[in-house]
Amino acid sequence: MSFLDPPVRQFSPRVIQVVALIGVASSSFTITVLSAALPDIADDLNSSTSTITWVIAGPLLAFAVFTPMAGKLGDLYGHRRMYLVGFTAAALMSFVTAASPNAGFLIGARIVTQAFSSSTGPSALAIMMKAFPDDERTSVAGVWSAVLAASPALGVIIGGPLIDATSWRTLFVIQGIGMVVAVVVSSRVLPESERRDDLTFDLLGGCFLAVGIAAVLIPLNRAGALGWDHPVIWGGLTLAPVAFVLFVWWERRTPHPLIELPVLAERNVSLPLVSQLFLNGPYMAGLVLTSLMLGADSTFAFSTTAISLLILPRPIMFALGAWVADRLVNRLGGRSVVVVGCIGISLGLAFIGIGAVQEWLAFVIIGVGVAGAGSGIARPPIIAALTEAVGERDMGVGTGMLNMTGQIGAAAGISLLSALVTEDSSPERFLLVFGIAAVVAVIAIATAGAIRFPDPVAGGTKSTPSPTAPYSATIDSRRWRQ
């Protein structure tokens, strides 16, 4: 029997959830310690700060480009199949990444790895969402977000000392081993989802979308180093609108589009997407900038292990916030919880900036924790609102679109704000960029606060969308707050 064949035995939803989350953890545990190791990686590979940030920003770009396509493929051909194939290829690429001879190879290997693993996020979430009843979706999204955040803490505990004792390459060997374990266990437990033989994959639309996203984000990152008048910069910014226009033109004409464009006008589809853009941008930029600020060539001059431990409150508080989000939603309602989370992100970033200019390390640590808790609290209700809006048949592409906008925001935030500290890494410059990030996070308060959330009721929030209806046509507007 092929490992792609579904298991004979049917497992309980909790077992399915645990197994799916093993894969989520193995794919995300490197992010915190890898961010902390950026100064060491730059020195080891003789690379500049603006280039080495693409070790983080490049995979985010790949995730943004390929996630909606991977989610759509999961909707069409089965999420289990996409999960296993993507994870197997990503595991092999992790070992290749560990052997990177230079910065360009490392960035390229990381991008390819993330392109393959882009299927695992929406597929894992779709598998878990379908395994549980609708009224438990906020809880499922919270646990998923908590594991996604907590696994980097494990990466710090394991990876930080190992990197200092050996090399940053060890981190990718460990990740590859973890992914192999995830593939083996998942092949025996995860159920197959329904395949849709009536539709085909929109490859041309996916290519137009990929070109448009890349043509925006690459110039944003390289403008500081190359100058805005460089052909690569103005060429990319010229190509981007052309690619997006072609994407819209094609999506309106093809019988099986990658994204149903009219759906984007629905409040509970468009607003979660925009919210992710303005939430993830400053949040992820804050992570990278904090690591650079604490590094040996900047304000505080800490080692990789010390940096990892100092930013450890971020994933821990994110996980705690995501874990309690469902309970808060049941008592306060989704809108209040999301707004509180967004405010937490903004305040946390402001604290980090003040800590930089005053050289108050305690402020930096508090800010990292507050921003992590705010992000963890805000995300599960947003995810639940979108998945209820799109319905089960299109859950893969729906969550893929959500991840796409989040990663676009992250890549843009990292690229733009990192460029501001390339030539000037003074405490005052860090205060400026963290202040800008805090202001951008405020925008998410308005967009996320306008999402329609069900009123809190005793025993939990109940949702009415049909599990088989497409997209937000299933929303019963009489039950949703205006």
Instruction: Tell me the CATH number for domain 13-201+258-479.
Output: 1.20.1250.20
193 Cβ neighbours under 8 A, 6+ residues apart:
74, 78, 79, 80, 126, 127, 130
**Beta-bridge partner residues of 169:** none
- Is the pTM here over 0.75, yes or no? no
Distance between CA 395 and CA 73 in Å, rounded? Answer: 11
Distance between CA 117 and CA 463 in Å, rounded? Answer: 31
pLDDT tens, 143-191? 777 776 666 666 666 666 777 777 788 888 888 888 888 888 888 888 8
pLDDT digit string (tens) for the chain, length 482 residues: 455 665 656 778 888 888 888 877 777 767 666 766 777 788 888 877 667 777 877 777 777 777 777 777 777 777 888 888 888 898 899 899 988 888 889 988 988 888 888 777 777 777 887 777 767 767 777 777 777 666 666 666 666 677 777 778 888 888 888 888 888 888 888 887 666 655 667 778 878 887 887 787 777 666 666 777 788 888 888 998 999 899 889 888 887 777 777 777 777 777 888 888 888 888 877 877 887 777 756 667 777 667 777 877 887 888 788 878 877 887 887 788 888 888 888 888 888 888 888 878 888 889 888 988 888 888 888 887 877 777 666 666 677 777 777 777 776 777 777 777 766 667 777 888 888 888 888 888 878 777 877 666 544 444 433 333 333 333 333 333 33
pLDDT tens, 272-287? 888 888 888 888 778 7
* 37 C-beta neighbours (distance < 10 Å), count: 28
pLDDT tens, 466-479? 333 333 333 333 33
The label of the residue with tokens 């595991």 reads 91
